[in-house]
Chain A
């Protein structure tokens, strides 16, 4: 079935030899015998990586031409990151060959990769916040003059790398926006002489305007002859920026595609190996019954000299999804914390079903029916070293089926967790498994599922589908819609504007701790939303 999809998707080049025949599994552009010899920056041939009982990469082929932007797309767990780790020298392949500019290369560390001209920009920035752009860029690769660092030379090279829109080298990194920080990361890699750039989900943290800026600079780099490997699962962006696309599924290359000739939908189906559910039009289930209400709430910063949240009022009705759009760090987290009782309100009050709960503890609020999907999965949602069932219990440890009085109800907790695993398709061998062993997407599915099965009145959902793949994302959306039809009120905070627009009944924009705009999700475009979020339009 997956092969059939691969073959029918227009614009894709069907993989050869999938029926078990030997030979290339995928047409590699410009390989020997091709009509037009193109020089390849990177060629991976038959890369196989096995872990005990699992083949993470199964004879993967990848050919990246010199000076192109090559997208590698695939679901979580498809084997993208293993492949990139191999390419970046972090793990050795069991079989197959890595050719850099036609030369077979064995790399045994990231240092080797850097020497071979390959640089990687990770999804999570690794920057020293208290240092300047210049210091961050040269850190670990300082040009020397005797024993001293040659700052003049460093500055000259950074300006050269930065090109026209170069960043001010003397600004502190902590002052930079997310997009700018990313550019510092890229500059770091280029400073070390990389000619081949691997970008791991670079747009995950950016707002649309920043994505555009990133694409402008990526195109500029391409002009200068830099080869870019762009890992993503945001298919619209991939189609916009990439010169060619390789799709990976279940550890295999299933297709290479030409972005000019394939649609997002076909690409998604190639990636998932199945047909996708369409985003159906929905009937409004909003009622006029207010569940959770905030009246002019505010909270001061640690040192008490400014409002982190100021005069925020909102109402979540029964059956309503209220979306909050905003660039990360504009008070979303504090807003949720106040509603959840994790942070005290310095002004205003919070009401649940008309009852003032401003001073109520977090546990009491949970018992009263407020559910929470935290923004920071690892820091706030999970006990990584604990089994699934204990993670499912977290937050509900005082209620059945997880507790019986003062005792933990181990059997009840396990049964409930098994239900979550079944209904939310958490891929795990069982509920006794320690949760650190699951992929991020499956961890997230557990977090969402446990809240849903607890049937709260109100759900505060921060980035409910962050880091999970398209199929699972659709399932989470569906469960939120189903619960909403049953009367659940949802506060939805997300960086994914399509998710916000698609799921919300009402949409507000948060900027510097204030709600600055209310828009109709049926009318607004992501670009308009982006300009509200950055304060470009009021």
Chain B
């Protein structure tokens, strides 16, 4: 009953925030001389096509991992701003490793994934270590490590991990991962149910994303570690008094966060690029922070947020063709985020007050007149 009320509040407030953001963007479209109804109409028409929906899921998968990486930290009050650097260095090294080894199918893919998770975990765990041992705030260290990751990645790629290109090919990239190290697309699954995604390949990583979302829920809500994590986030003092070692929790959480961050690049790597190139998608780590906020660190909420962002990202592609600036998507995302954060803050206060009243209400009538 109480949980339901929370759910209703969350859904209604996010819904209102999205409507509000659409209104603001409509005003901006109108001011810049475009007809907002036409733009939205085209976005919708284009966005509900099967290939667009599949593409939206593809775009959502990395965002979902990214959001979960951030959310693990958020749950204990740690701000891992470094998902960006963590996934980029992880995907580079995993791509190089994947191209260098030869293993039978599933093992090959597994090795690539585990490599990426290990690199992400190490990169992020280092920030955790710095916080515990040297008192460096994780926001500072993870931001700085983003720069280090970018620079080091470029250096590694340019000097050691690149393939020898044939003459005329100027794109710097790692060697291609062989067939055994690729994840098959889920298009056949779609075809079975009678959907045709056209030229879009629905990423196999989508399955792992669902599994990971479930794993996230179990980890946070049903394990001792998850309880200790949430307790540390809710009250550092109470957690310490309960025998939860804050230093150990910081390092462990950063390691887990980084390991999930390592998965961010896997969808694109295993499902599309099959190598790391300089046009590999960036900014997924930062957008993940927004998705985590939007989804309130809840596995289902974040999935909804990632799908929404993924869908907007895909649907606004059509605007470009119609001469409408597709940058409107960033405005949409920004305003949604701001209004959701404000709405949540307002709602939280009301929910708390309602809970207090419900308790006094349930207890009060005549309770103290007796005995």
Contacts and interface: CB of A to CB of B under 8 A. Distances in A.
Contacts of A428: 359, 363
Contacts of B360: 51, 53-54, 56, 437
A531 interface: no
Interface stretch (B86-94, B168-176, B226-234, B306-314): B226-234
Interface in A393-433: 393-395, 397-398, 403, 406-408, 410, 427-429, 432-433
Nearest to B367: A427
A225 to B, nearest CB: 37
A406 B2 contact: no
B241 A363 contact: no
Given A54-B360, A54-B361, A273-B368, A365 B225 contact: no
Interface stretch (A177-185, A292-300, A377-385, A498-506): A377-385
B26 to A, nearest CB: 37
Interface string B206-247: 000000000000000111111110110011011111111100
Chain B contact residues (Cβ within 8 angstroms of A): what range?
35 or more
A249 interface: yes
Contact of A379 (B2, B238, B357, B368): B238
A386 interface: yes
Nearest to A75: B368
| A55, A428, A433: most-surrounded residue (chain B CB, <10 A) | A433
B235 A361 contact: no
Contacts of B226: 408
A393 B244 CA distance: 12
B243 A54 contact: no
A77 B368 CA distance: 10
B9 to A, nearest CB: 14
| B226, B238, B355: most-surrounded residue (chain A CB, <10 A) | B238
Given A250-B368, A397-B224, A408-B222, A374 B356 contact: no
Contacts of B225: 406
Contacts of A394: 231, 238-239, 241-242
A51 B240 CA distance: 37
B4 interface: no
A398 B244 CA distance: 10
A366 interface: yes
Interface string A36-79: 00000000000000011111100000000000000000010110
A434 B354 CA distance: 11
B371 interface: yes
Contact of B369 (A2, A393, A406, A410): A2
A380 B371 CA distance: 33
A406 B224 CA distance: 5
Contact of B243 (A77, A365, A383, A406): A365
B358 interface: yes
A2 B369 CA distance: 7
A274 interface: yes
Nearest to A428: B359
A218 interface: no
B238 A397 contact: no
Contact of B364 (A54, A249, A393): A54
A372 interface: yes
B362 A429 contact: yes
B352 interface: yes
A383 B235 contact: yes
A475 to B, nearest CB: 12
Contact of A386 (B234, B243, B369): B234
Nearest to A55: B364
Contact of A398 (B224, B237, B365): B224
B363 A390 contact: no
Interface string A73-87: 001011000000000
A288 to B, nearest CB: 30
Contacts of B369: 2, 250, 273
A366 B357 CA distance: 35
A438 interface: yes
Interface in B62-91: none
A373 B358 CA distance: 28
A150 interface: no
A53 B358 CA distance: 8
A362 interface: yes
A362 B224 contact: no
Contact of A382 (B238, B240, B364): B238
Given A432-B2, A436-B352, A437-B358, A361 B245 contact: yes
A54 B241 contact: no
A380 B241 contact: yes
Contacts of A433: 2, 355, 359
Interface in B334-371: 352, 355-365, 367-369, 371
A192 B16 CA distance: 45
A56 B363 CA distance: 12
Contacts of B371: 273-274
B368 A438 contact: no
Contacts of B230: 383, 386
A453 interface: no
Nearest to A363: B243
A437 B351 CA distance: 11
| A51, A55, A56, A372: most-surrounded residue (chain B CB, <10 A) | A51
Contacts of A478: none
User: Top 6 nearest A-B pairs by Cβ distance?
Assistant: A53-B361, A363-B243, A429-B362, A362-B243, A395-B242, A54-B364
8 contacts: A75-B368, A77-B368, A361-B245, A362-B241, A394-B238, A394-B239, A397-B227, A429-B358
Given A380-B240, A386-B231, 18 more contacts: A51-B357, A51-B361, A53-B364, A55-B364, A273-B371, A363-B242, A374-B241, A379-B235, A381-B238, A381-B241, A383-B230, A383-B234, A394-B239, A394-B241, A395-B241, A397-B231, A407-B223, A433-B359
